[in-house]
Amino acid sequence: MTSHSSPPKIVLVGNPNVGKSVLFNVLTGSYTTVSNYPGTSVEVASGRCRIGGRAYEVLDTPGMYSLMPITEEERVARKILLTERPDVLLHVVDARNIERMLPMTLQLIEARQPVILVVNILDEAERLGMTFDLPRLAQNLGIPVVGAVMKRRQGLEELQQAITGFTSAPRALEVYANDLEADIRRLAEMLKADYPLGARATAILLMQRDQEVETLVRAEEGEGFPLIAPVLHDIKFNRRADLNLLISLERKRLTRKMLEGAFQQRDADHLMFSERLSRWAMNPFSGVPLLVLVLYFGLYQFVGNFGAGTLVDFLEGVLFENYINPAVVGFFNRITDIYWLRELLVGEYGLWTLGIRYAVALILPIVGTFFLVFSLLEDTGYFPRLAMLVDRLFKQIGLSGRAVIPIVLGFGCDTMATMVTRTLESARERIIATLLLALAIPCSAQLGVILGLLAVYPGALVVWMLVMVAVFLLIGYLSARVLPGENPVFYMEIPPLRLPQARNVLVKTLTRMQSYFLEILPLFLVASVILWAGKMSGILDLVVKGMTPLVRALGLPGEATAAFIFGFFRRDFGAAGLYDLQNRGLLSPVQLTVAAVTLTLFVPCIAQFLMMKKERGLRTSLGIFVFVSVLAFSVGWGLNRLLLLTGVLA
């Protein structure tokens, strides 16, 4: 192993869903930080570990299928390979799919990476009737191979030994079919610079029209590039029809050769329980009821009742109301008697009262419980099944099944969901998803308050839900017709259903809560300062007065105006404002329903707006802002008329 002043680096790569993060956690213990890769929304985990008295730095990468990146995740994973120059590269594969994943091992060997192959999930593969001769495979490949069941720490010691004993010995490369090999060599010999992936792999990626690699080669070769270009163009043209297919088939052939004598498959024909459960989840007749159950127990009972009910009651009603608030308010009142300062700190819209208390006592428990459910579902592999269930419906609103993930996340936090829309493939899909999130998807904080608000009148709850679903589908349908471009194509791997690991779920939940909290708390504080300034200067009163006629037009009392203004600072502030009005008995069921509908549809909170601007640009986000505002009040106005006319909820 080469000596560095910094500790040697271990980098984990592999397909999604092969147990990379489990291996990462097993290796690093609790010394983990998860952060977004610079300039992207892709999460990369890094940590440290000690093996045999030596410190290592460990990097987990997003799932990748091949060295040729297509998605943003794959691009980040490859960038890490290109820039980090790992000392040991662990290629983690799922033993059950070894035939499909080994081509990437071949690619990594080809790219002169210091690879150790980790054949994970051996237990389940053996249950499927597969048998392995891993020493034989190691011999065939010429690299260390370790078999493992990482969730039970099986194979950890062998892996640690393989890491400490790793020597980056040069390996003979298997060759491709003659004519293809000749082209690769011809191009590779022309590459003079030192490439992180080696000349050979770089040449192949060049032939496959990898733009990033071409830019890199152009820069590295400088004046030599004009000599390379004609050869490259010549090869690209001659092989325009089937290069990628040919390379894939060649790698498949090599994979078979590598696996000869190292792997056997007996037929195991009975369906395991997890497979039967998976089919139920994907069959629309059982899958839709299952979805309803998941929504009812996960979202309504756990997040709504437990998170927004029990937990909030305890934190806000008991802890803050009885113990913390009096102490804090008393403390500040003792140290200052300047009116404006008191107001700023502990007044009606003060930093403490509106900022910290709301963030900690109201939002955190709701968002926390939501993220727990979300991470739990994510780790079972439920979302891809949901995506394939809704794809046909989502096509009608211009989205593919993939978009189900940002939309579901939107029920937790629309701001985060808006950020995640960048994983969608086309600009058209991203705009539609952003619009729908801003319009018809209430975040968990808002949802919690609204469900609590409407629970008193079940009829109101039903009307509210129907209107939301109708607006979601109608606006989606119309925007899919209006926006130019083609409908997206849907394809997704369906990973096996599995039992989530408690530790993984907790780490994910805490990471999400942490980033949410760090991102949102400052905005809470800004919001309370703005509101405080508005109140002290009288501007708030003016804005409220200005908007009051609009609110009255919806048939609502003028007092409800404040709720709408607050709605912009935090959607749930608005809903909570309605809560106060209802407690004071100022709202009839019809008014309550109209207010809840308008408020849910009404403009996104300030954080979501800022995120929209960052992701979609100022023009698009302003357009969405205006559209959503006009639509919210129009729907509210129409609904009020309709309800009064028909006498429903009267």
Q: Give the binding site for other proteins (CB under 8 A).
A: 65-66, 68, 70, 96-97, 99-100, 103-104, 125, 128, 244-245, 248-249, 252, 278-279, 282-284, 384, 387-393, 395, 400-401, 489-494, 496
Q: Report the SS3 class of residue 551.
A: helix
Nearer to other proteins, 223 or 269 (CB): 269
Query: Residue 476 in contact with residue 508, Cβ under 8 Å?
Result: no
Nearer to other proteins, 205 or 437 (CB): 205
Exposed / middle / buried, residue 631 (Cβ in 10 Å: 0-12, 13-18, 19+) = middle
d(CA 351, CA 339): 14
Nearer to other proteins, 264 or 333 (CB): 264
Nearer to other proteins, 279 or 545 (CB): 279
Residue tagged 């908007």 (tokens)? 547
CB of 99 to other proteins, least distance (A): 6
CB of 102 to other proteins, least distance (A): 10
d(CA 120, CA 15): 12
**DSSP characters over 14-44:** --TTSSHHHHHHHHHTT-EEEEE-TTSS-EE
Nearer to other proteins, 427 or 553 (CB): 427
d(CA 64, CA 16): 7
Nearer to other proteins, 36 or 248 (CB): 248
- Amino acid making up residue 616: R
Nearer to other proteins, 179 or 493 (CB): 493
- Amino acid making up residue 125: A
Exposed / middle / buried, residue 571 (Cβ in 10 Å: 0-12, 13-18, 19+) = buried
Residue 147: how many CB atoms within 10 A of its CB? 21
CB of 264 to other proteins, least distance (A): 14
- Element housing 92 (H / E): strand 88-94
Nearer to other proteins, 18 or 453 (CB): 18
CB of 401 to other proteins, least distance (A): 7
Nearer to other proteins, 32 or 202 (CB): 202
CB of 488 to other proteins, least distance (A): 9
Of 631, 297, 270, the closest CA to residue 435 belongs to: 631
CB of 234 to other proteins, least distance (A): 20
Of 417, 535, 432, the closest CA to residue 483 belongs to: 432
Residue tagged 């009885």 (tokens)? 322
In the numeric block, which tokens belong to residue 648? 């429903």
CB of 386 to other proteins, least distance (A): 11
Nearer to other proteins, 389 or 441 (CB): 389
d(CA 240, CA 44): 36
Which one-letter DSSP state was computed for residue 272?
P
CB of 29 to other proteins, least distance (A): 31
Nearer to other proteins, 196 or 496 (CB): 496
In the numeric block, which tokens belong to residue 578? 């309605």
CB of 218 to other proteins, least distance (A): 21
CB of 278 to other proteins, least distance (A): 8
- Give the pairing type, strands 145-147 and 43-51: unpaired
CB of 251 to other proteins, least distance (A): 9
Of 281, 509, 514, 516, the closest CA to residue 375 belongs to: 509
